[in-house]
Amino acid sequence: MVYCTAAQVMATVDTDMTAPEITELIEESDAYMDTILDTGSINVHVLRMISRVMTVIKIMLKDPSASSLGDYSMNRQYTLEKLNKELETMLTRVGGGMAFKYGYADLRWPTV
């Protein structure tokens, strides 16, 4: 199941990626969510938020020209760190446990 749309993601990040490319990333993010979370018991709005943040992180990592819109637009490293922390907080609250101790985007490697 797809939890967010390319339009919702494009409202969050400025990228040269096309809507079909973003939709493919959304499908990957949502498949991952279905694997790690009990999505049947989580509010659809929360699922949409998690899906959008996961997809924006993927876009930021894949598209060097991508930039976040809004609060986190200072620089790519800062943006990825903030998005990663936001996602980690969401996953910890809905999933709980040690499984979500580490963030989604591995920032130890040069990604920017």
Domain count within the chain: 1
pLDDT: is 35 or 101 the higher one? 35
Domain membership of residue 105 (yes or no) is no
Nearest to 110 by CA among 88, 80, 85, 84: 80
Domain membership of residue 108 (yes or no) is no
Nearest to 55 by CA among 99, 77, 78, 86: 86
Over residues 26-36, the mean pLDDT reads 90
Residue pair 105/78 in contact (Cβ under 8 Å)? The answer is no
Spacing of C-alpha 34 from chain mean position:
14
Rounded to two decimals, the pTM is 0.74
Q: What is the pLDDT of residue 75?
A: 74
Domain membership of residue 109 (yes or no) is no
Model confidence pLDDT, tens digit, residues 57-95: 899 888 877 777 665 556 777 778 888 888 888 877 776
Is the predicted pLDDT of residue 26 greater than 90, yes or no? Answer: yes
Q: Can you give the residue range of the structural domain that contains 69?
A: 6-100
Domain membership of residue 38 (yes or no) is yes
